[in-house]
């Protein structure tokens, strides 16, 4: 009789330990995927010295990488774009609003989503444009700023962005990649691209 009580107690302890372990794993997964702050990788250390005054001044990193990419559906989502230029945030919101007018006219359940992967030199950005809802579809996208005005430079579902557009806007390889798309039959796998 004593042996069965011991086995029953051990079984209860085992169930409790397993329940606590499962709750711990579930809590970790929820924290990591939904509650933890977004990881922002930067390539340059902030804080440089101003040569004239000798004071330390704050600088924005050359390359900002959002991991995971930031998904923008409306103006409130742009707060997640840490260190992004305000002009870029405004442009993205305006683009979403304009696209939604056209998209919703065709299908009220569909909407524009912009994802941002990285921003380089505060003048270039990479990510994607998609249509959410039942009208799903999308492409990789590159944006550039000239004199403070942002524009969508290129979108692609190919092996790379169009070489002509990358060269026109002098998009650095660091954000555009090292291969671009051309219709030249000499480059069926894409043309090597290198822009500093």
Identify the residue whose tokens are 């579902």.
157
- pLDDT at residue 170 greater than cutoff 70: yes
Classify burial at 69, counting beta carbons within 10 Å of its beta carbon; exposed 0-12, middle 13-18, buried 19 or more: middle
Q: Where are the domains of the chain?
A: 1-36, 64-192
Residue-averaged pLDDT of the chain: 83
Encode pLDDT of 32-81 as tens digits: 544 444 444 444 434 444 445 555 555 888 999 999 999 999 999 999 99
Q: Report pLDDT for 77.
A: 97
Helix/strand/coil for 188: coil
**Torsion of the alpha carbons at 3, 6, 8 and 9, rounded to the nearest 10:** 170
What confidence category does residue 121 fall into, taking pLDDT thresholds of 50, 70 and 90?
very high
Q: Determine the Cα–Cα distance for residues 45 and 42; give it in Å rounded to an integer.
A: 8
- 177 backbone φψ class: left, alpha, beta (φ>0; ψ -120 to 50): left
Q: Is 186 left (phi over 0), alpha (psi -120 to 50) or beta?
A: alpha
Whole-angstrom distance, CA of residue 2 vs CA of residue 107: 70
Confidence (pLDDT) at 38: 46
From the CB of residue 66, how many other CB atoms can be counted at a distance below 10 Å? 22
List pLDDT tens digits, range 77-113: 999 999 999 999 999 999 999 999 999 999 999 999 9
- Using pLDDT thresholds of 50, 70 and 90, give the confidence band for residue 10: confident
Q: Is 141 in a helix, a strand, or coil?
A: strand
* Contact residues for 162 (Cβ-Cβ < 8 A; gap 6+): 154, 156, 180, 181, 182
Contact (Cβ atoms closer than 8 angstroms) between residue 174 and residue 63: yes
Q: What is the pLDDT of residue 9?
A: 74
Question: In 10 A of CB 136, how many CB atoms?
Answer: 10
Q: What is the pTM of this model?
A: 0.70
Q: Residue range 110-136: average pLDDT?
A: 95
* pLDDT of 18 strictly over 70: no
Q: How large is the average pLDDT for residues 6-15?
A: 70
User: In this predicted structure, what is the pLDDT of residue 34?
Assistant: 47
């Amino acid at each position: 009789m004593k042996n069965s009580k011991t086995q029953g107690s051990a079984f209860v302890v085992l169930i409790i330990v397993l329940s606590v372990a499962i709750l711990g794993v579930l809590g970790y997964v929820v924290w990591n995927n939904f509650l933890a702050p977004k990881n922002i990788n930067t390539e340059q250390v902030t804080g440089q010295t101003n040569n004239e005054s000798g004071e330390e001044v704050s600088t924005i990193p050359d390359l900002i990488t959002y991991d995971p990419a930031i998904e923008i559906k409306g103006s409130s989502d742009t707060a997640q774009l840490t260190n992004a230029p305000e002009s870029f945030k405004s442009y993205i919101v305006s683009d979403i609003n304009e696209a939604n007018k056209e998209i919703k006219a065709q299908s009220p359940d569909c909407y524009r989503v912009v994802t941002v992967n990285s921003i380089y030199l505060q003048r270039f950005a990479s990510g994607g444009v998609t249509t959410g809802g039942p009208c799903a579809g999308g492409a990789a996208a590159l944006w550039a700023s000239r004199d403070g005005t942002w524009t969508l430079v290129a979108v692609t579902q190919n092996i790379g962005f169009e070489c002509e557009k990358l060269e026109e806007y002098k998009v650095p390889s660091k954000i555009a990649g090292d291969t671009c798309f051309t219709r030249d039959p000499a480059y069926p796998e894409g043309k090597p691209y290198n822009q500093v």
